[in-house]
Amino acid sequence: MVGCVTPWNEGVDMSVTRRLTSVCSVVAVLAGLTTSVAHAQPAKVPVATGTGGAVATVDTNATEAGLEVLRAGGNAVDAAVAAAAVLGVTEPFSCGIGGGGFMVIYRADQGKVTTIDHREISPAAMRPDSFWEDDAPLPFAEARYSGMSAGVPGTVAGWASALRKHGTMGLDKVLQPAIRVAHDGFTVDQTFADQTQGNVDFFDDVPSSAELFLDPDGTPKDVGTTFRNPDLARTYERIAHLGTKGFYRGAVASAMVEAVQNPPVSEDANHAWRPGVMTTKDVRAYTSPEREPTRVSYRGLDVYGMAPPSSGGSTTGEALNILGGYDLSEMDRAEALHYYLESARYSFADRNAYLADPEHFDVPLRGLLSPEFAAERRALIGETASNPPVVEPGDPYPHDGGAGAGEASATVTRAGTTTHLTVGDDDGNVVSYTFTIESTGGNGIVVPGFGFLLNNELTDFNYSSLTHPNRVDGDKRPRSSMNPTIVLRNGEPYLAVGSPGGATIITTVLQILVDRLDLGATLPQAVAAPRATQLNTPSTIAEPEFIDSPEAAAMRERGHTFTSTSEIGAATGIEFLDDGRLMAVAEPTRRGGGSAGVVTPG
């Protein structure tokens, strides 16, 4: 920030710090400055409590950007977009303007929850067999690392729509912190280096990707070095100046389409990069609709989530409806977690069969979320793990107005890398926001000259099926597992939570809700607790600490089996405390730990 140095050192009077920070933020945000005097960022803190507004993300720079906008008079939506734009710089393998997402918003002045769908959409020319060759679907890696896997990005449109309908600032103001970080740089940590390493064999096929993310010797940037992205800074500046036209028309749109249709690979690339079919007409036609949220009642609370094409709100809602028939608070933890896993197993069977883009398939959402359907599913759950462990989907259609059943078939659930942020402001507005480029590193292609990775979101279709509701089609949004969630108590915000993690996003949020609402955990304890996830698979995936726990031992006696994975999710959340303060919560260790902050600590 020009002319402003914030004294972050210990021993400095924090009231002075806050006043100086506020003044500097107002100058930087409202004047639209993009240069800064470098200052040391505070260390990551996973829990912060106070007043004036709260932000929780995986990254300190992003959390500070959100707080900066709140201090400058912005609301939760303004702060969420500012933080998200910074994550597009510091978390480029997980999210960014080359992808899409879902934002759930509580408007305090209206007392209602709404959502903005800015999921990527397939080009019009896509067909059910677009990922097929020689009468068979492509292997996942070949489908992913290609131009074909990139959907038309929705993030910029979603940001603009959220700000226009629910914010107080424009893109020209809220992008300034991200422009600064992209221009001045940030420090590479181990997570960034590890995520780069997983893509080296493909990044080195693409000169624009290699130039941005790899050192000249072809290895990831070293931990502790400064990473800058001047191309992305200029792209953000263009969007700040021109709005959505700066992305969906003109130079950026043309470069994006060229990268899809003719993947910019080197002559000595050691992989085949198949071209895609995206056109500038596809890009220009993109829209980000505002949708009604899903809603279920649980323990007297209203739980709101994201409707289709996300499966997050419906699957979590169905599982909560099932769990509502048990008094989990009277059970020991092992027994309660048994029913948590079984409710997830049955809900995922239904999710896998019936969730798709509602513009292309009549999703039986009313039936899936009906108490009567939940009762039918609950009746199939016993005191031991289901045997066989992979259960069949139910039939929600009789509870959906009596329509005939659609095709019910299994589907693949894959891990993915995403990011989630949560923001609350002093007026009681709340944003729970998950966005992504799908796999870690998306499709591996940095758009030359513009500094952002394209998504591989179209591999979220059931592309191996020519008939599934979530099959590939033109102008269609692939089903998602993103699960931004807001919980109201007596019509007022109580909790907001979400997570990355592919299909495990749904169970991560569900487990946090069970721990917090039923089992007596605080929100920090619920976020930090060892996780297990059941996706209607033969074995339950779990973190090592969970597998080694007494609860897991007790659950094995009930017939559960476990497969180890290093970590599940990387959640953030906010709780509105009874005394009027806000508690922001991020992961203490997963994905390198997260960053929570409040405007006025205390």
Token pair listed for 523 = 């929100």
What average pLDDT does this structure show over 488-514?
96
Token pair listed for 477 = 């949004």
Residue 27, judged by CB atoms within 10 A of its CB (0-12, 13-18, 19+), counts as: middle
Check residue 35 and give its pLDDT.
36
517: confidence class by pLDDT, cuts 50, 70, 90? very high
Amino acid at 595: S
Most confident of 322-326, 416-420, 590-594: 322-326
Q: Give the tens place of pLDDT for each residue, 264-285.
A: 999 999 999 999 999 999 999 9
Classified as helix, coil or strand, 440 is: coil
- Mean pLDDT, rounded, of the chain: 91
Residue 412 has pLDDT above 70, yes or no: no
Determine what percent of the chain is predicted with pLDDT higher than 90. 89
What average pLDDT does this structure show over 55-78?
98
Check residue 166 and give its pLDDT.
98
Q: Give the tens place of pLDDT for each residue, 415-449.
A: 556 899 999 999 999 999 999 999 999 999 999 99
What average pLDDT does this structure show over 234-239?
98
Check residue 27 and give its pLDDT.
35
What average pLDDT does this structure show over 191-206?
96
Check residue 401 and give its pLDDT.
82
**Are the C-beta atoms of 484 and 432 separated by less than 8 Å?**
yes
If you write DSSP's letter for every residue of 473-494 in order, what string do you get? Answer: -TT-PPPB----EEEEETTEEE
Q: Give the tens place of pLDDT for each residue, 119-152.
A: 999 999 999 999 999 999 999 999 999 999 999 9
**Are the C-beta atoms of 131 and 284 separated by less than 8 Å?**
no
Q: Give the tens place of pLDDT for each residue, 541-580.
A: 999 999 999 999 999 999 999 999 999 999 999 999 999 9
Residue 352 has pLDDT above 60, yes or no: yes
Residue 41 has pLDDT above 70, yes or no: no
Check residue 276 and give its pLDDT.
98
Residue 210 has pLDDT above 50, yes or no: yes
What average pLDDT does this structure show over 389-418?
71
Q: What is the pTM of this model?
A: 0.91
**Are the C-beta atoms of 417 and 440 separated by less than 8 Å?**
yes
d(Cα 534, Cα 344) in Å, to the nearest integer? 6
- Domains of the chain, CATH where assigned: 14-112+119-288+427-460 (no CATH), 290-387+481-589 (1.10.246.130)
Check residue 403 and give its pLDDT.
52
Classified as helix, coil or strand, 205 is: coil
d(Cα 423, Cα 100) in Å, to the nearest integer? 18
Whole-number CA gyration radius for the chain: 23
Residue 167 has pLDDT above 70, yes or no: yes
d(Cα 288, Cα 300) in Å, to the nearest integer? 32
d(Cα 271, Cα 213) in Å, to the nearest integer? 18
Q: Give the tens place of pLDDT for each residue, 530-546.
A: 999 999 999 999 999 99
What average pLDDT does this structure show over 278-305?
98
Residue 40 has pLDDT above 70, yes or no: no
Q: Regarding predicted confidence, which is higher, 502 or 249?
A: 249
Token pair listed for 506 = 């749904």
Residue 293 has pLDDT above 90, yes or no: yes
What residues act catalytically?
A: 418
d(Cα 512, Cα 519) in Å, to the nearest integer? 10
Distance of CA 373 to the CA centre of its chain: 28
197: confidence class by pLDDT, cuts 50, 70, 90? very high
What average pLDDT does this structure show over 373-389?
97
Residue 88 has pLDDT above 60, yes or no: yes
